[in-house]
Every structure is written in structure tokens, then in C-alpha cells.
Amino acid sequence: MKHYDKIYIGGEWVTPSTNNIREIVNPTTGEVIATTCQGNAIDVDRAAHAARAAFESFSKSTPVERAEIIDRIIVAYEKRTEEFSQTIAIEAGIPVSSKAQVHGPLDHMQVAKELLLSYPFERRIAETVVRREAVGVTAQISPWNWPIQTPVIKFIYALAAGCTSVVKPSDNSPLCALLLAEVMHEAEVPPGVFNLVVGKGYVVGEAMASHPDIDLISFTGSTGAGARVAETAARTIKRTSLELGGKSANIVLPSADIEKAARWNIQRCFFNTGQSCHAPSRMLVHRDQLEEALGYLADEAAKYVIGDPSDPSTTLGPAANLAQFETIQRYIQSGIDEGARLVCGGTGLPEGLTQGLFVRPTVFADVTPDMAISREEIFGPVLSVITYETVDEALEIANDSIFGLGGYVFGGNPEEDYEVCSALRAGRIAYNGFATNSLTPMGGYKQSGIGRSMGVFGLEEYLEIKSVYGFGEHASSLSSII
């Protein structure tokens, strides 16, 4: 069992200010696999000062110079993909067969690099030069369900913009972030541009949100925690970017291929053991097509191979931690208690398993919009199937939520179906299972968040806008930079 006794500040591995440690438990076996040190507000202050010192010169670096740094990060990261894959399996229960968790970050790095080389940081409007400049020192808090990709997306766009960063991973899955810091060190990212402080959210995260020398905070996690981050950040008028909870609806229109829609819904909803904020955890089906859909849903759910995430044949790992496992179990029981029909799954461990935080893939029918399993984010492999009579009713049910992160539509008449997609109040809508990509923005409506990540919109989250007046007559001499 390894003890990680250092945090990463100013380009060096340093000892934190406390002697506190955190045990990291393998959700498959229940065994303690590692311990990590714990930082505090003093360490956040050290990291913020290192980031501020680095910002003075790094913000003046050219896009080409920053692109070269990203190239070095890509090379260093590619050497460690297998190590990342094994690490997320033992600390977060994510199957090694899940390629998106480990290889997705490479796509985001490449997109950020290419965008950096084409983005117009200066442009002219009439006699005015409008500049986009790095916002400053940024703080980035990432969740346990995407322990590699989320911090990479946050940091790589901050770096592309010319910002410096203080990163805090989830206290439940810090090992991937510690490995990511090793990648940054090997890639020779300039000292102070990337800093990592591990520790509890209410200690380290609170210190980051309130620190006067941090200009922007980017947070991914629960809506409740995000509200706390925003409230704390407001005291120093800090820029805030939040990606929060979701309860995404998949409207299956009568013209849709019911089998395709049902099988895709299970695959997308139960991906990552359902621990995905964009999961289509509500499936809306026309009343006349319910039973047909349920047959396909149950059949697809039964295909999962549940077991050790380190085994390449496993397709569904355990819940990431005990608290989340217990939450999922409570929601499944609440669905039963409120009268929903259990199509498959249920409470307790899957058949044949006697240990680990494994959840039975669960589908409920006869769910009404007022039930807890229909309204609240479960964050597990649990699907609520709701029926409707008209498309207007389906849209009303789908939009009747405090969340608005993702939405999905399946249908057979694209022109009509586009109107349904447009009427959904959410930041990302996929039609007929079409895949998302790394170029386009991600973010939410309503209580699902503020701001956008990825692509050009993700880059602009980390940029300030400045107008410089009076340069109309000098436009020709500025043409090389505008």
C-alpha cells in the first residue's frame, strides 16, 4: 500500500501543512489501497501565490509557445494511459474496458491545441481593438466520477488561454490527479502554471472559492455543493463556472425505432455505473409503446457483465464509494415504496456477488413525474420509464425539472423532431443517439450550471474582454496581430 505524502506546488512536490491522511478504498474489494496526505487553506494560499507569480510571465506567452506545451503534455500522457486505466479501476471502480475515461482527455488536449493556433485573440471593431486576455489565476475542482477527463478539460483550456491553475481533485478519487501532476512535471509545464492540492472539499475547496488572489473558479459536482462554491466565490466577485446535476430526459417519439431507442438508453444511462450527470435517467415513451420498450430495456440490461473493473471483460463496475452505493440503494427502495413497477434489478448485490459496492441494473415502469426517482438525481444504474399521450405532454414532463444539463430525442421525422429538440430546456441535446464531440460546448440550463466548457466556448470561459479605442488609423500596422 502506497502513501502519497506530497502535493504539487510551483513545479515541485512539497509536504502539505497538515499531518492528516485519507484512506483510499477499492470499491470492488473494500480494501484500503493507498493513503494520501491532506492539504488545507495554508496550502491553497501557497499554491495561489505560486500561480500568481507564474501568471505574470505565462500570460505573456504566445499561442505557439502554449501549443508546444500541450504537445509535450500529450506525449507524457500517452506514455501513462495504461497506468491511468488501472488507477481508475481500483480507486473509482471504472472498468478498464471503458476507453472514454482514459483516451477522451487526449481528444480534448488536441482540440485545445488546434483551437489555440487559430483563435483570434485580437480583432478590430470600427476604430477599436478588442482583445481577449487571460482571466488570471484559476481554481478548478473536479468530481470523482470522471477523475481524469474533467480536470484535464478544465486545466487544458486554462493553459491555452494563458491562465495558471490550482487544481483540487475529489477526495474520493485523488490518485488519478496525482498521476496527472506527474505527467505535467514530466512535460515540463512551467513552474506554477499547474498546482495540485488534495484535501476535503469543505477545507481546500472552500479556501479556493474564497481566496482573494484567485480570479475564477471552475467546479463540477452536485448542485448543492455548486451553490456553496458560488456563494463563497461571490464575496470576492470571482468569475464562476459550474457544471452541476442533471436528470436528463429521453423523449422517444411514436415514429422512433423503439428497439434502437431502448437499447441505446440503457447503454448511455448505465455507462460508468450510471454515475454520469448527462445520463438519460428518464425515458419518456408513448403509452401504447410501453410494453414493447420494456422488453428491449430488460433484455439490454441483462447483457451487462458485472464484476472486477480490472478485468477487461467487465462492462459494469461498482459504485465509486460507499456513500454513493447507499444513496442508490435508498432510491431503488423509494421507487418500490412509491409504487413504481420493478421491471428488472432491485436492491442488494447482483446475483453471484458477495462483496463490493455493486448495484443491480434497475429499470422502473409506471413511474409518475412526482416520484423521487423521477425528479431527483440518483447517479446510479437506475432508469425511470414514464409514459405520455401527446408530444406536448412529453415536453412538459421533460422540462418540469430544476435541471437542464442534457436531453435526448428519438424519432423518425427529422424536420418535426428538430422542433422537439429545440423545445427541450437543456444545454446538450442528442438526436437518435448521435454522439457528442470535443469541439462543441457542454453546460447546463437552470440549476445544472453556469458557463460552458470544451471547444471555443470553453476557451472563452478563461478569457477577459478588453476594448482598446483609437486605433482605426493604425489598423494597417496592426494587421499582423488582428
Tell me how far apart the alpha carbons of residues 53 and 48 are, in angstroms, rounded to a whole number: 9
The count of other CB atoms within 10 Å of the CB of residue 481 is: 11
Q: Is residue 481 part of a domain?
A: no
Asked if 318 and 93 count as a contact pair (C-beta separation under 8 A), the reply is: yes
Asked if 454 and 441 count as a contact pair (C-beta separation under 8 A), the reply is: yes
Q: How many distinct structural domains can be found in the chain?
A: 2
Residue 416 CB-half CA count within 13 A:
10
Tell me how far apart the alpha carbons of residues 241 and 451 are, in angstroms, rounded to a whole number: 5
Q: Is residue 75 part of a domain?
A: yes
Q: Is the dihedral of CA 250, 255, 256, 258 positive or negative?
A: positive
Of 12, 31, 243, 393, the active-site residue reads 243
pLDDT for 480? 46
Q: Is the dihedral of CA 263, 90, 435, 408 positive or negative?
A: positive
Residue 132 CB-half CA count within 13 A:
21
- Residues of the chain below pLDDT 70: 472-482
Residue 158 burial by Cβ neighbours in a 10 Å radius (0-12, 13-18, 19+): buried
Q: Is residue 191 part of a domain?
A: yes
One domain, residues 230 and 304? no
Q: Is residue 228 part of a domain?
A: yes
Tell me how far apart the alpha carbons of residues 143 and 205 are, in angstroms, rounded to a whole number: 12
Q: Which residues pair with residue 409 across a beta bridge? A: 251, 431
Local structure of residue 134 (DSSP, 8 states): E
Distances (CA, A) of 441 to 29, 163, 227: 38, 20, 22
Asked if 252 and 220 count as a contact pair (C-beta separation under 8 A), the reply is: no
pLDDT for 425? 98
pLDDT for 395? 98
Cell reading at 411: 424519432
pLDDT for 474? 57
One domain, residues 205 and 298? no
Place of cell 403509452: 287
Residue 243 known to be catalytic: yes
pLDDT for 1? 84
Distances (CA, A) of 103 to 85, 266, 390, 416: 9, 22, 41, 36
Tell me how far apart the alpha carbons of residues 28 and 155 are, in angstroms, rounded to a whole number: 30
One domain, residues 253 and 236? no
One domain, residues 211 and 264? no
Local structure of residue 367 (DSSP, 8 states): -
One domain, residues 196 and 254? no
Report the CATH number at residue 367. Answer: 3.40.309.10
Q: Is residue 482 part of a domain?
A: no
Report the CATH number at residue 121. Answer: 3.40.605.10
Q: Is residue 232 part of a domain?
A: yes
The count of other CB atoms within 10 Å of the CB of residue 288 is: 10
Q: Is residue 83 part of a domain?
A: yes
pLDDT for 389? 98
- Kindly report, residue by residue over 257-285, the tens digit of the pLDDT: 999 999 999 999 999 999 999 999 999 99
Tell me how far apart the alpha carbons of residues 287 and 386 are, in angstroms, rounded to a whole number: 9
One domain, residues 101 and 240? yes
Tell me how far apart the alpha carbons of residues 202 and 182 are, in angstroms, rounded to a whole number: 26
Strands 32-37 vs 128-134: parallel, antiparallel or unpaired: unpaired
Phi and psi of 376, rounded to 5°?
Answer: -105, 150
One domain, residues 220 and 275? no
One domain, residues 232 and 259? no
Residue 439 burial by Cβ neighbours in a 10 Å radius (0-12, 13-18, 19+): middle
One domain, residues 211 and 148? yes
Q: Is the dihedral of CA 195, 149, 241, 219 positive or negative?
A: negative
Q: Is the dihedral of CA 388, 393, 394, 396 positive or negative?
A: negative
Cell reading at 436: 457528442
What residues make up the domain containing 365?
249-431
Phi and psi of 234, rounded to 5°?
Answer: -65, -25
Angle at 448 between CA 367 and CA 333, to 5 degrees: 30
Q: Which amino acid, one-letter code, is at 224? A: G
Residue 61 burial by Cβ neighbours in a 10 Å radius (0-12, 13-18, 19+): middle
Tell me how far apart the alpha carbons of residues 472 and 482 are, in angstroms, rounded to a whole number: 12
One domain, residues 83 and 114? yes
Question: Quick check: helix, strand or coil at residue 239?
Answer: strand
Q: Is residue 441 part of a domain?
A: no
Cell reading at 165: 491553475
One domain, residues 27 and 95? yes
One domain, residues 253 and 354? yes
SS3 string of 419-454?
HHHHHCCCCEEEECCCCCCCCCCECCEECCEECCEC
Asked if 67 and 131 count as a contact pair (C-beta separation under 8 A), the reply is: no
